[in-house]
A and B are shown apart, each in its own frame.
Chain A
Amino acid sequence: NAGVTQTPKFQVLKTGQSMTLQCAQDMNHEYMSWYRQDPGMGLRLIHYSVGAGITDQGEVPNGYNVSRSTTEDFPLRLLSAAPSQTSVYFCASSRQMDDRPYEQYFGPGTRLTVT
């Protein structure tokens, strides 16, 4: 198993540009999520999905879109990049969101700089 993969690893954007961060997992996990990690702060949830066709907002969703057309893929779209979106983005997946403490697996991250 490759686990959770993310592309690209690094990206530089100009203000106003759009792009898609890719995330894929091969563990047949229902739950997938996107986080951003900023210096001096804990990881913050952007969007999450509990299965194909179902997405919901997390703590900091503004400026980001997601879709989940397949179980494996969960892309994150930046609609119009802003310097405030400079961050490291992590994708994560786990089994169902129920009352059992399922393990959550993180991807290697995408480091995004917006100038």
Chain B
Amino acid sequence: KNQVEQSPQSLIILEGKNCTLQCNYTVSPFSNLRWYKQDTGRGPVSLTIMTFSENTKSNGRYTATLDADTKQSSLHITASQLSDSASYICVVRSVGNGGSQGNLIFGKGTKLSVKP
């Protein structure tokens, strides 16, 4: 069964510190992996999209890594800010029929709280 597992479930860090969120998946065949940020009461917003051939991708203070062999991804946040407090969702897209995009499979998210 295609699944996306995220850890930890929740995390509290102090402002200015770094943190790393983990994502393991069993989705096959794999097409791409996405990280979304979801602020409380709002819709998810994309941070990165990574395909099979990409190992690292950065978006400002956010850096995502992908190891397609071990089916693991991580999201590293550098010098955290209060505005980073949100849920971070890992999403994997499989390959659909005829090589088209399959549907997205969502992880349950990691809830990050950044404290002053």
Query: Which residues of A does B touch, CB under 8 Å?
Result: 4, 40-45, 48, 58-59, 90, 92, 97-99, 101-109
1/0 contact string of B41-75 vs chain A (CB within 8 Å): 11111100101000000000000000000000000
Whether A43 contacts B31 by the Cβ 8 Å rule is: no
Known: A42-B89, A45-B104, A58-B103. A107 touches B4 (CB 8 A): no
| Option from B31, B41, B49 in Cβ contact (under 8 Å) with A99 | B31
**A87 to B89 alpha-carbon distance, docked (Å):** 18
Query: What residues of chain B lie closer than 8 Å to A59, measured between beta carbons?
Result: 103
Identity of the chain A residue whose Cβ is nearest the Cβ of B105 in the assembled complex: A42
**A1 to B57 alpha-carbon distance, docked (Å):** 27
Whether B96 contacts A42 by the Cβ 8 Å rule is: no
Whether A97 contacts B101 by the Cβ 8 Å rule is: yes
Whether B44 contacts A106 by the Cβ 8 Å rule is: yes
Query: What residues of chain A lie closer than 8 Å to B44, measured between beta carbons?
Result: 43, 90, 106
Query: What residues of chain A lie closer than 8 Å to B51, measured between beta carbons?
Result: 101
1/0 contact string of B91-109 vs chain A (CB within 8 Å): 0010110011101111111
Query: What residues of chain A lie closer than 8 Å to B109, measured between beta carbons?
Result: 42
Query: What residues of chain B lie closer than 8 Å to A40, measured between beta carbons?
Result: 108
Identity of the chain B residue whose Cβ is nearest the Cβ of A45 in the assembled complex: B103
Size of the B side of the interface (Cβ < 8 Å), in residues, is: 26
Whether A106 contacts B31 by the Cβ 8 Å rule is: no
Query: What residues of chain A lie closer than 8 Å to B106, measured between beta carbons?
Result: 42-44
What are the 5 closest A-B residue pairs judged by CB atoms, nearest first? A42-B106, A106-B43, A101-B32, A43-B106, A97-B101
**A98 to B102 alpha-carbon distance, docked (Å):** 9
Whether B104 contacts A108 by the Cβ 8 Å rule is: no
Query: What residues of chain B lie closer than 8 Å to A48, measured between beta carbons?
Result: 103
Whether A90 contacts B96 by the Cβ 8 Å rule is: no
- Residue of A42, A90, A102 contacting most chain B CB atoms (<10 Å): A42
Whether B32 contacts A108 by the Cβ 8 Å rule is: no
Whether B43 contacts A108 by the Cβ 8 Å rule is: yes
**A59 to B101 alpha-carbon distance, docked (Å):** 16
Q: B5-53: which have CB < 8 Å to A?
A: 31-32, 34, 41-46, 49, 51
Whether A108 contacts B42 by the Cβ 8 Å rule is: yes
